[in-house]
Structure 1
Amino acid sequence: MNAQRLVDERGDLWLALAPLWLEREPRETDYARMIAVIQRHDLTLQQLEWVFRLELAPVLSRQQMSVAGEWRAFDDYKLMKQLVAHNLRLKGWRRKSWMLFSGLTTMMTRHRWNELMARLMVERGEMP
């Protein structure tokens, strides 16, 4: 997998889900945009969980815990470079170690992710 293919296949999904890691709670418009982008990708809930845990959380959790001070938005270009670099290296022992530690890297945003997944299930008609 090369960098351009990663951007083409995942870039809009990654950028749509990035607000889960911002210091403010996502707005209704954020959740609506996330759901619209997710629907275009036609991924299962399990596949989305792995995108959250392995492709996004290792990069975005570092930003969330940085001492850089207040941040309310991302530099999309810089974020995309970091996400692509991480995902190009996500093989073998790196992938296994992120799987092992993904509970820690998703801990601070898990409540937001659960809210998004509940909304997605309603949108898909999968929730009674």
Structure 2
Amino acid sequence: MDAQTLVDERGELWLALAPMWLEREPRESDYARMVEVIERDGIALKDLEWVFRIELAPVLSRQQMSVAGEWRKFDDHQLMRRLVAHNLRLKGWRRKFWALFSGLTTMMVRHRYNELVERLVVARGGDIR
């Protein structure tokens, strides 16, 4: 998969989910946008979990732990470049490595992800798929 395909297929979803890693709690408008983009993409919850754990968390958790990191708002262009670079390398042992350590990279924002899932279940009328 090339960079443009990644941006076309995942870019909007990645940018919608990124506020989970900001200093502040996501706003109602952030959650509403997340739900809207996820519903438009029709992504299943099990697939969303992997996007969260494998595609986003390794990049965004490093940003979160950085002393000089952006905490109030992300530079979308720079963030997308880092996400694309990470995901282009996400094959074989790297995918397994991040799957193994995804509990560590997601623990700071897991409560926010759980809130998102609850909102998705409500939006889907109780359907947990």
The two structures have a TM-score, normalised by structure 1, of 0.97
Check whether the contact 2:22–2:73 (CA below 8 A) recurs between aligned residues.
yes
Superposition pairs for residues 86-97 of structure 1, below 5 Å?
Answer: 86-97=86-97
- The 1-side partners of 2:9 and 2:76 are apart by 16
Code of the residue aligned with 1:38 in structure 2: it is I
- What is the aligned partner in structure 1 of residue 43 from structure 2? 43
- What is the aligned partner in structure 1 of residue 122 from structure 2? 122
Code of the residue aligned with 2:117 in structure 1: it is M
- What is the aligned partner in structure 2 of residue 20 from structure 1? 20
**Runs of 4+ residues over 3 Å off in structure 1:** none
Unaligned runs of 5+ in 2: none
1:125 to 1:103, Cα distance in 2 relative to 1, 3 A = same
1:113 match: secondary structure: helix
Code of the residue aligned with 1:28 in structure 2: it is E
Quote the sequence identity (%).
Answer: 76
Deviations 1:62-120 (A, max 9, x none): 00011116620000000000000000000000000000000000000000000000000
1:97 to 1:69, Cα distance in 2 relative to 1, 3 A = closer
- The 2-side partners of 1:45 and 1:70 are apart by 28
- What is the aligned partner in structure 1 of residue 10 from structure 2? 10
Aligned residues: 128
1:86 to 1:53, Cα distance in 2 relative to 1, 3 A = same
Code of the residue aligned with 1:72 in structure 2: it is R
1:126: Cα distance to partner?
A: 1.7
The two structures have a TM-score, normalised by structure 2, of 0.96
- 118-127 or 20-29, which deviates more: 118-127
